[in-house]
Structure 1
C-alpha cells in the first residue's frame, strides 16, 4: 500500500455536493475528503484484509456468546435493567446489518492488527460505498477496481432482512442537525428502499411512547427501527426504560447485543479468549500489566477522545474529551503505516456477514480523531 497523486479538478467540491456529499470540508475549510491522492493497493493485500475481517467477525460472535453466557455485562458498564434485553436479542437472532473494523498494517511484520470494532454506529459508509466509487469512475477512464461492494451488499442485506421485519414500515432515525449522520442514514434508507422496504424517517427526539408501544409523529406504531445513535446514549434517553417493556418488542437495528461489540472492553475479552492471535493486540482491563508501550482507551470513547499513548511508560500523545469515568482498556501500541501525507488506518466493512469494502483514514498524529482525513483507494 502506498500513496499516489493525481491532479484534482478545480470544481471537485461542487461535484461532491451535487452527488449529496456536503461535509467534504470542515468549518475551518480543512478538507475531510482527500481528492488529489489515493492509496494504491494490490489484490493480495485486498485478500489479506478480506480474510482478516472474515476471521475476526467469527471471533467476535464467539466473544459475544461468551460474554452473554457468563453474564459479564458489568465489565462493559451496561446497566442491569438492560441485561435481559441484550440476552433476548442474542438468543432470538435479532438481525444486524453492518459494522466496521479498524485495522493498522504493520509494515515490518507485514501483519494486520485490529484496533477496535465500530459495531453499532459506524459512519463513513456513504463515502465508502458511493463517493470513492464515483471518484474512481471520474478520474480513471481505463478499467480500475476497488475493494468495494458496499452498495450492492447493503441492498442484498436489507432484502435478506425484510422477512424478519415485524411490520410494514422500517423507521430510520438519527439526531437532528447532524449532516454527516443524516447523510449516512438517508443513504442506508435509500438502499433499503431499493431492497423493496417501505421506510420512514424520524429523529430520535420525536420517538414517542403511547403506553404499550413506540410511535412516530403520526401515531403510527414503530415495529422496526434502524437508529444511527449509540446504544450507550440511547439507554439513557427518557423513553429507554420502555424498550424492555415494549409489548410488541420492536426490532431495534443495530440490535442491543451490538452494545457488547461496540464497547472497547471486547478487545480485552478477545485477547483473553484468543491470546497471542496474530490479528489482535495485547489488551487488558484498566492496567497495562507489564507493557511499557501501550494506549489507554476509555471503554466508550468515540472519535479518539480521551486516548493516551505511552512509550517506555511515558505519555507521548493524548487527546481531550469527556470519557473515562466508565473505565479503560490498555492496548499494546501498534506500528502504524506512515506516508509523507500522514499515518493511516484501514476501516474494513462487514455487511450482512460479508467483508465487502475498505476505507483509509489518515491523520497527522498517531491517534485517529474526527479530524482524520478520508482517502480513496484503488486496486492496481
Structure 2
C-alpha cells in the first residue's frame, strides 16, 4: 500500500455533484475539504485479496458471535433494555435480512489486518465509496493520469442492487414496484438538513429502484405510530411496511416510540434488522476475542484495561461514533491522545492498539464493505493523528497494474 500524490481534476466539485455527492467540502483537518483527491492509495492485487479474505472471515466470525450472544442471552452486556431482548432474539431467529455494513480495519502494510470496529447498523461514506471514487478512477484513466487497465476494489453499486433484489424477492416475496421507505434524520435540532445522511439515503434509493422497489424518501421525524391501525405511518399517512433507515437502533429503543417497535414486528420490516444491535456495539470486540482468542484478524479486547497492562491500548465508548471520547494510552499507562464527545455513559471497551502502515504524517483506516455476505470494496480515511474522528479526510484508492 502506497500513498501517491495526485493532481485533482479541474472541476472535481462539479463531477462529485453529478453522482449525488454534495458534502465534499465538509471541513476536515486544517480546514481542507473532506474529499481529498490530492493523493490516492495504491494497492497491489495480493493486498486487495488479503483485505477481501479478512473481511469475509470477520463477517463469518461476527455471525458466530451473534448466535452465541443470542443463545446465551448476553443482551445485558450490550446495554439493551430487557423489554427488547425478545425483539433482538426474534429478529435473529427469523433471519431478518441484512443489506450492508462496514468494517474499520487497521493494515500494517504487510500481512496484518486487524478489526477496529464494525459499523454494522448505519455505516456512512457509502455514496463517496460506491460512486464518487469510481467516477474519479474513470476520469483519471480517461485523462491518461492512470493506465487504462487500472482497477479499484469497488463492487458496491452492483452488489447493493443484487442484495436488494434478493431481499425483495427471496426474503420478502414482494412483486416489482413494492414500496420501500428510506429514512434519515432531517436535522439535529437546528433545522438544517443533515446533507451527508440525506445524500447517503438518496444514493441507496437509486440502488433500491434498480432492484425493483418503488423508493419513498422520508425523514425519521415524520414517522408516527397510529393507535387505531396499530402500525407506523409516514407523514402522508401511508403505512410503513418495509423501511431502510439510516438511524441507529440504539437511539430508536430509547425514544418515545421505541416501545412500539416490539408491537410492530408483524407489520413493519426494518433494514438494518434489530439483531444489528449486537454488532454495532463495541462490546462485540470483547465477545469476539473471548470466542476466538489469538485470531489473526482480531485485537485483544476487554471490559477493563487490566489485562492490557504494559501494552499500548485504546479505550472506546461502546456506542461511540467518529472517534468521539476515544483515548489512546501508551504502554506506561500515560495518555497519548484523546478526543472529546457526548459518549461514554454506556461504558467503555479496551482494545490493544493496532499497528498501521508506516505513512509519514498519516494514519489510514480502511473501511471494508460487506453487502449481504460478500466483501464489496474499500474506502480510505486518513488523519494526521492516531484517532480517526469527524475531521478525517476521504482519499480514493486504486489497484496497481502488474506486468
**TM-score > 0.5, shorter chain as reference:** yes
Q: Per-residue CA shift, 1:80-121, capped at 9, x if unaligned?
A: 1111100000000000000001111123x6310110000000
**CA–CA distance in 2 between the matches of 1:288 and 1:262?**
24
Pick closer, same or farther for the CA change 1:166–1:239 going to 2, 3 Å.
farther
Q: Does 2:106 correspond to 1:96?
A: no
Q: Per-residue CA shift, 1:109-165, capped at 9, x if unaligned?
A: 631011000000000111111000000000113121000100000000000000233
Which of 262, 277, 289 is matched with 1:271 structurally? 289
- After superposition, the CA RMSD in angstroms is 1.4
Quote the residue 1:230 is aligned against: 248
Quote the residue 2:231 is aligned against: 213
Quote the residue 2:190 is aligned against: none
Pick closer, same or farther for the CA change 1:152–1:249 going to 2, 3 Å.
same
Deviation at 1:178, TM superposition (A): 0.8
Listed as ranges, the matches of 1:283-302 within 5 Å are 283-292=301-310, 293-302=312-321
Quote the residue 1:13 is aligned against: 13
**CA–CA distance in 1 between the matches of 2:249 and 2:306?**
28
Deviation at 1:41, TM superposition (A): 0.4
Pick closer, same or farther for the CA change 1:354–1:266 going to 2, 3 Å.
same
Which of 335, 338, 349 is matched with 1:318 structurally? 338
Compare 277-286 and 7-16 and name the one that shifted more. 7-16
**CA–CA distance in 2 between the matches of 1:288 and 1:46?**
36
Which of 382, 385, 389 is matched with 1:365 structurally? 385
**CA–CA distance in 2 between the matches of 1:288 and 1:337?**
27
Which of 70, 73, 77 is matched with 2:72 structurally? 70
Q: Does 2:157 correspond to 1:151?
A: yes
Q: How many residues align?
A: 379
**CA–CA distance in 2 between the matches of 1:47 and 1:290?**
31
CA contact (8 A) 1:288 1:330 kept: no
**CA–CA distance in 1 between the matches of 2:197 and 2:115?**
25
CA contact (8 A) 2:27 2:33 kept: no
Quote the residue 1:170 is aligned against: 180
Q: Does 2:130 correspond to 1:136?
A: no
Q: Per-residue CA shift, 1:240-293, capped at 9, x if unaligned?
A: 111101263311110000000000000000000000111000000133424331
Which of 259, 277, 282 is matched with 2:300 structurally? 282
Q: Match of 1:78, SS?
A: coil
Q: Does 2:195 correspond to 1:195?
A: no
**CA–CA distance in 1 between the matches of 2:308 and 2:208?**
48
Deviation at 1:235, TM superposition (A): 1.1
Deviation at 1:10, TM superposition (A): 3.1
Listed as ranges, the matches of 1:310-349 within 5 Å are 310-312=329-331, 313-340=333-360, 342-349=362-369
Q: Does 2:377 correspond to 1:377?
A: no
Q: Match of 1:345, SS?
A: strand
Moved over 6 A (4+): none
**CA–CA distance in 2 between the matches of 1:74 and 1:315?**
30
Quote the residue 2:263 is aligned against: 245
**CA–CA distance in 1 between the matches of 2:26 and 2:203?**
21
**CA–CA distance in 2 between the matches of 1:111 and 1:248?**
44
**CA–CA distance in 1 between the matches of 2:306 and 2:351?**
7
Deviation at 1:197, TM superposition (A): 0.7
Q: Match of 1:337, SS?
A: coil
Deviation at 1:199, TM superposition (A): 1.6
Gaps of 5+ in 1: none
**CA–CA distance in 2 between the matches of 1:340 and 1:24?**
24
CA contact (8 A) 1:213 1:247 kept: no
Quote the residue 2:107 is aligned against: 105
CA contact (8 A) 1:170 1:226 kept: yes
**CA–CA distance in 2 between the matches of 1:187 and 1:282?**
36
Gaps of 5+ in 2: 143-147, 187-192
CA contact (8 A) 1:155 1:194 kept: yes
Listed as ranges, the matches of 1:40-55 within 5 Å are 40-55=42-57
**CA–CA distance in 1 between the matches of 2:241 and 2:306?**
44
Quote the residue 1:26 is aligned against: 26
Q: TM-score, normalised on structure 1? A: 0.97
CA contact (8 A) 1:173 1:201 kept: yes
Q: TM-score, normalised on structure 2? A: 0.91
Quote the residue 1:119 is aligned against: 120
Quote the residue 2:189 is aligned against: none
